[in-house]
Amino acid sequence: IFDMKYLFIFPFSLFLFSCEDVREYPLPPNEFNTKNVPTESKEIQDSKTDTLCFLRAYGNRNLDTMAVRFIIKDHDVQGEMMELTFDADRKLGFLSGTIEDSIIHAGWVYDEEEKRDEMQVAFQLTGNKLFQQPNEFNVKVGKNVLKEHTGFVIQYNRIDCSKFPQHLIRVDRKSV
């Protein structure tokens, strides 16, 4: 019998054990990441802070992982997002944006291969699911942009935020 928690633990443990040089990047201090932030919430309400975490396993044998943590206060959204691919570079970074009618629009600033980059991301919250609008590479601007004329089709499942890493970890892998 297969337990769902191993879907997250296996790719994350591969990620940690493949590390050569590990540096931690904690969330920058602000009103959104204090110790008073709840680890879970039932629903988003005005004038309160909610923390919501989501995970998506995909790829060959579900070894690739996307993880998102939103810290929502009123209409402001801060958080973390990471893409941990089994055999490619990782993208680890911070989100900052807004939420209106369960739609989150944010900028994702992330590190990949010793390079800092950014892209716009969009999500829709629906119950215990999160749906992301796809991005595509735009040759004219030389970066990923939100894919036009598509809905929110990439699905994440909600997880207990205590299972989400407390700090982002940047990895510099030594060439084999």
pLDDT tens for residues 148-158? Answer: 878 899 999 99
From the centroid of its chain, how far is CA 34?
Answer: 19
Token pair recorded at residue 36: 């008073």
Query: Quick check: pTM over 0.75?
Result: no
Q: What is the pLDDT of residues 1-34, one digit of tens each?
A: 445 554 545 454 444 444 433 333 344 443 333 3
Higher pLDDT, 108 or 38: 108
Which helix (H) or strand (E) segment holds residue 14: the answer is helix 5-17
Average pLDDT, the chain: 75
Q: Which of 85-89, 130-134, 169-173 has the lowest mean pLDDT?
A: 169-173
Closest CA to 50 of 66, 69, 68: 69
